[in-house]
Structure formats: structure tokens, C-alpha cells
Amino acid sequence: MNIEWNAEKYTEDFSFVHQYGNDVADLIDLKTGSTVLDLGCGNGALTEQLKNKGFHVIGIDSSEELLNIARRNYSDTDFIKADATSFSLDESVDAVFSNAVFHWIDSDKQSSMLHCVYNVLRDNGQFVFEFGGQGNNALIHKGLEKAFLSYGYSYKMPFYFPSIGEYASLLENAGFKVRYAVLFDRPTVLKGEHGLRDWIDMFVKIPFRVVANPEDIENIKSMAVNELKPVLYKNGKWYADYVRIRMKAYKA
Ligand code: BEZ
């Protein structure tokens, strides 16, 4: 996964990520007592929501830091450390759920991840997920790219934001039947007066690895924030230009 987490700050300041995930969980259409795997469960907040709906839940994540928070907050839930692109389970599950995770996985690893999901589902099991779709945060990434170029660096997008057509093909190639797909804009309010700067600090780490000089890092971030203020700062609030892809598929 293309991320280094600041797990405590993520849990405190970016809680909208799991709050929006509740709508995705509503796509799971199963009896209480069914087993649901939360893939990329992070701090476990949504795993707990799934449990509150009456499901038996298992959470998988690759971040020890986030799993520590999940285990501390929800000590009676089963959380497993594993990579989404190479995991397996001893039991099969009725549904796999995932929110705001797949954009962190490189495009060439998506098929391996879908293969793992397929293998862990029972026949006709449900796969319900949402993540960043085509055009997600396009304004922010354009602003960063421009600022990188101004200081003589090139900006490499670290995320995978596919269209519905592209992702439906990947799912079908992995053996799934796609039954629901939507791509929609969701402008999202960021917390605080420094909302965009905090968002960049939290989520855009890898592209800055090519910038050796700490002063350049600071200048690039400030320049991007200043350039984006006229479009992303409205009525005293910062917004991120989120676009979501939400889908439901079945193991054929
Ligand atoms: C997202 O949830 O769409 C997202 C969050 C941070 C970085 C990239 C994408």
C-alpha cells in the first residue's frame, strides 16, 4: 500500500472517511449473523458499525499502528494483520466490505487483490466497496503538480482512481458479476483553518520523497495551498474535491 500513516491524527481529524462509509455498508444485503470481512479496516470504526448491524465481523489491515487503535477500541473483534493483495482466511465469508482503501493499491496489484477477495467469498457472496474514482481530488493533484514543477521537480500521482468501465472489467475478469456501480462527486469539508494543508501532510507523502530540500517541501505545499484557495476555500471552509466509485458485485 502506498501510505505511511499518522494513525492517531487520522483517527482524530479525518473521521469523515468512516462516517461516509456507513452508506456503503447499507449495500450489504444479508441476514444478521452472516460473516463480513472489512478489508483495509484501519482503526476499526466501520468494522464496529458492521458489527452493530448484527454481522459477525473480521477486520484485515496492513498497518500495525491502525490495528493497535482498532484492538484498543474494540477488543472483542478479530483484527488480522495482512496485505490486501496477498491475504487468505481459513473460513469463507458471506461478504467482503471495503471503504476508502483500493486507491492506495497500485493498478498492477488490483487483480491480485480481487483474486484474494474472490477466494475468500462463499459462492454468491457479496463484494461491496467504495473508493476514489476517476477524477478524485483532480484539482488538488493539479495544484500540487504545478507547485512541484515551479520548484523543478516532477509530481508522480501515487493513487489509483479508475473509471467504472475499467473497474467493472477487472471485476469480471476476476470472476465477479457486477450488479451496481456509480461514480459521483462528493465535495468534502476538511477540518480547520488549515484543512487542505493538513490533508496534504496526511495523505500526500510519497511524491515528496523526490524533494531532498526541506525548504522546498514547505514552499511547494504553501504554493499549492495558496493556488487552490480561490477554488477550494468557500465561506470559511476548505473542501476536498472527492469523487467516489461505489460498486456491488457477486462471486459468480
Ligand atoms: C480518498 O479517500 O479518496 C483518498 C484519500 C486520501 C488520498 C487519496 C484518496
Residue 250 Cα to ligand 1 midpoint, Å, equals: 25
CATH of 7-251, one of 3.40.120.10, 3.30.70.120, 3.40.50.970, 3.40.50.150: 3.40.50.150
Determine contact, residues 93/116, Cβ cutoff 8 Å: no
Q: Map residue 185 onto helix, strand or coil.
A: strand
Nearest protein Cα to ligand 1, atom 2: 100
Q: Map residue 45 onto helix, strand or coil.
A: helix
Nearest 5°: phi and psi at 224?
-60, -45
User: How far, in Å, CA of 4 to CA of 174, rounded?
Assistant: 29
Tens-digit pLDDT profile for residues 99-136 = 999 999 999 999 999 999 999 999 999 999 999 999 99
Average pLDDT over residues 87-107: 97
The sign of the dihedral angle between the CA atoms of 155, 158, 161, 167 is positive
Per-residue b/e over 117-133, b at no fewer than 16 CB within 10 Å?
bbebbeeebbbbbbbbb
Domain limits of the chain? 7-251
> What mean pLDDT is reported for the chain?
95
Nearest protein Cα to ligand 1, atom 1: 132
Which H, E and C letters describe 66-77, residue by residue? HHHHHHHHCCCC
Please work out whether the CB of residue 85 comes within 6 Å of at least one atom of ligand 1: no
| Ligand 1 atom at shortest distance from the alpha carbon of 204 | 7
Please work out whether the CB of residue 100 comes within 6 Å of at least one atom of ligand 1: yes
pLDDT (0 to 100) of residue 175: 98
| Ligand 1 atom at shortest distance from the alpha carbon of 132 | 3
User: How far, in Å, CA of 104 to CA of 112, rounded?
Assistant: 14
Cell of 78: 478479530
Tens-digit pLDDT profile for residues 171-217 = 999 999 999 999 999 999 999 999 999 999 999 999 999 999 999 99
Instruction: Assign 5 a pLDDT band (cuts: 50, 70, 90).
Output: low
**Alpha-helical regions (H) of the chain:** 7-13, 16-25, 45-52, 64-73, 110-120, 138-150, 164-173, 195-203, 214-232
Report how far Cα 228 is from the mean position of its chain's Cα atoms: 23
Comparing CA positions, the residue from 15, 7, 6 lying closest to residue 191 is 15
Q: Residue 240: how many CB atoms within 10 A of its CB?
A: 21
User: How far, in Å, CA of 196 to CA of 189, rounded?
Assistant: 10
Tens-digit pLDDT profile for residues 128-162 = 999 999 999 999 999 999 999 999 999 999 999 99
Which of 199, 242, 244, 246 is the best mutation target for the ligand 1 pocket, counting ligand atoms within 8 Å of the beta carbon and taking the most? 242
Max distance between CA atoms of the chain, in angstroms, equals 56
Instruction: Assign 4 a pLDDT band (cuts: 50, 70, 90).
Output: low
Instruction: Assign 13 a pLDDT band (cuts: 50, 70, 90).
Output: confident
Classify residue 136 by its DSSP letter. T
Residue 18 Cα to ligand 1 midpoint, Å, equals: 12
Which of 129, 201, 203, 246 is the best mutation target for the ligand 1 pocket, counting ligand atoms within 8 Å of the beta carbon and taking the most? 203
User: How far, in Å, CA of 121 to CA of 177, rounded?
Assistant: 13
Please work out whether the CB of residue 160 comes within 6 Å of at least one atom of ligand 1: no
Q: Map residue 180 onto helix, strand or coil.
A: strand
